Amino acid sequence: MVTPPSDSRDPSRKFKVYKDTVEVLVAPHDENTDKEGAKSEQYPETGKKRGFKDLAWIVFYHLKKHTGVGLVCAVAYFDPGNWGVDLLAGSQYGYRLLFIVLLCGLFAILIQCLATRLGVVTGLDLASHCRVLLHSRPKHTLLYRWLALYPLYAISEIGIIATDLAELLGSAIALCLLFPNLQLWHGVLITAFDVIFVLALGDPLRGRPVKYFEIMIGAMVLAVLICMCIIIAKVDVQWGDTFIGYLPSKYIIPNGALYTSVGILGATVMPHSIFLGSALATQDRVSLPNVAVVDENRSERENNTAEHIKKHLYHGIIDMAVSLLGFAVVINSLILILAAAVFFYGQNNGSSAEGPAGLFEAYDLIKELIGQSAATVFAIALLAAGQSSSIIATVAGQAVSEGFLQWRTSPVVRRLVTRLIAVIPSMAVAIAMGKPGIDALLVASQVVLSIVLPFITAPLIYLTASKKIMRARKPQFAVYSEGTSAAEMYKQDVETAESQGEDFSSNRFTTAVATCIWVLITMANIYVLVTLGMGEGD
């Protein structure tokens, strides 16, 4: 029961209410703080009849506060590895596999929304939750650590390195396409150390969002989309067949397209994006600048309050769904449409292209059929995709190491470590085998990511389905800003008490669908491994 505060409370003090007791924290009046608060942006008022201008301002306010995480996570879904698979699908099967691109995009939206839900409700990312679950078990502690926690961490790190390898290769190929005099291994070496300075400017995983980081990634995403639209505008696309391609087709199974469909599935849902999405979802994006924050010991931390969750959860889910559907699915579709128009249907127009398309082949054929300008735009789009994906992979790696091991590293150090690990096989293959070897290494990195994915999604589905874990914090105290009246304090206390312990776990339908996706991904990975082992995946 919350005791109503008396009107004798000093408005110049902050109160921390512990159930039926009140502790007064003396906070001296600070004119500088008041001035900063006065200078802070004005937040839209509620409860009044609004005109169009007011509604527009409210929409702008919410977009500014909550847009960003979805764009950052969307980058992972059109990295150079996805480019390779989409080019392969379009060049071999035309527009028919667009349905698979859309379906995989919907799978990715569900998985990423689960990661967002986990971060918003609990205030911890997926990697940290794995540590909480497995590090200090009351029984068989060492067994859980060495047979579950540390192997899961190792698998996650392998996924990060494989991701960084794909981004490095994609960026290196783009540089070689833009500057033909560069040797392939020169491009690998340049790309190995090209984005360190970006991450030296700040830590995107801090408690508050780093807007310039989100804006920078958003600009790269927009650049990729614009470049692809420019190229598509110059290509003769059969739009009627394109829209039919988004419908399910029996063509996939009897004509051997199932293997490529599995490749699209494996290359679309990215493990590092799940870690990053859950980490960025823990950030507080709406608190007023002058609200006091009480530091908590990590071991004593609890889930967020229902008020905090409701302010963040649905905005975050909408941002994630719109970003993935509006950017990731669209860009992947455009890449496949481009490959289909230039390779699959272009062969009827005198093209010399035969067989599946790679990044180098796509560039050469675009240059041959459309012109040098379109080929240059293609290379710029690939470079932007590779660079943005590379930054995201590094930040995700930081979240993994901090969450699993509580190993605090700066993004710069993290970039150096992962790049040095990835650059060794890239340089060796580039020097020894050239372009064919790079294409093979790019495909191999996507196979590794496909194998890693089920190990990452399994704990995510379990955690978000748990009513015990996904319950709003029972607020043991409330923190008030200076000048809050006693009546307002009492009203907030009552509203807070009414929302204690609200359940935000996934419903049974969502959990069932997520489990089916997990089973499908696992079966797809088994299929890929078996076919590769039998020599049928070449």
- The residues spanned by each domain of the chain are 41-284+299-470+505-533
Q: How many CB atoms lie within 10 A of CB 39?
A: 8
The 8-class DSSP code of residue 479 comes to B
Residue reference for tokens 């799978």 = 107
The 8-class DSSP code of residue 503 comes to B
Strand partners, 16: 23, 479
Q: Report yes or no: 90 and 265 within 8 Å, Cβ to Cβ.
A: no
User: And the tokens for 480?
Assistant: 């008030």
* Residue-by-residue pLDDT tens, the chain, 538 positions: 444 444 444 443 333 333 333 333 333 444 444 444 444 444 455 455 566 777 777 666 667 777 888 888 998 888 887 888 888 888 888 898 899 899 989 999 999 999 999 999 999 999 999 999 999 888 889 999 999 999 999 999 998 888 888 888 888 889 999 998 888 788 888 877 765 655 555 666 665 556 777 888 888 899 999 999 999 988 888 888 899 999 887 776 655 666 677 767 766 778 899 999 999 998 876 664 433 333 333 344 578 888 888 888 888 899 999 999 999 999 999 999 999 988 888 754 555 455 556 788 888 888 888 888 889 999 999 998 888 888 888 888 888 988 998 877 666 676 677 677 777 777 777 777 777 777 677 767 777 887 898 999 999 999 999 998 998 876 555 555 566 655 565 556 555 544 457 889 999 999 999 999 999 888 877 877 777 677 655 5
Strand partners, 201: none
Query: What are the pLDDT digits (tens) for 128-150?
Result: 999 999 998 888 899 999 999 99
By C-alpha distance, which of 17, 23, 15, 20 is closest to 1? 20
DSSP per residue, 85-111: HHHHHHHHHTTTTHHHHHHHHHHHHHH
Strand partners, 23: 16
Alpha helices in 31-149 (DSSP H): 31-39, 52-66, 69-74, 80-93, 98-122, 126-134, 141-144
Q: Report yes or no: 46 and 517 within 8 Å, Cβ to Cβ.
A: no
* CATH homologous superfamily, domain 41-284+299-470+505-533: Amino acid/polyamine transporter I (1.20.1740.10)
Q: Report yes or no: 6 and 486 within 8 Å, Cβ to Cβ.
A: yes
Residue burial 70-84, b: 16+ Cβ < 10 Å; e: rest? bbbbbbbbbbbbbbb
By C-alpha distance, which of 382, 366, 389 is closest to 84? 382
- The counts of H helices and E strands in the chain are 22, 2
Distance separating alpha carbons of residues 156 and 192, to the nearest angstrom: 21
Cβ partners under 8 Å of residue 363, min gap 6: 177, 375, 378, 379
Distance separating alpha carbons of residues 45 and 148, to the nearest angstrom: 50
User: How deeply is 189 buried, as exposed, middle or buried, from its count of CB atoms within 10 A (0-12, 13-18, 19+)?
Assistant: middle
What backbone phi and psi angles, to 5 degrees, belong to 15? -120, 140
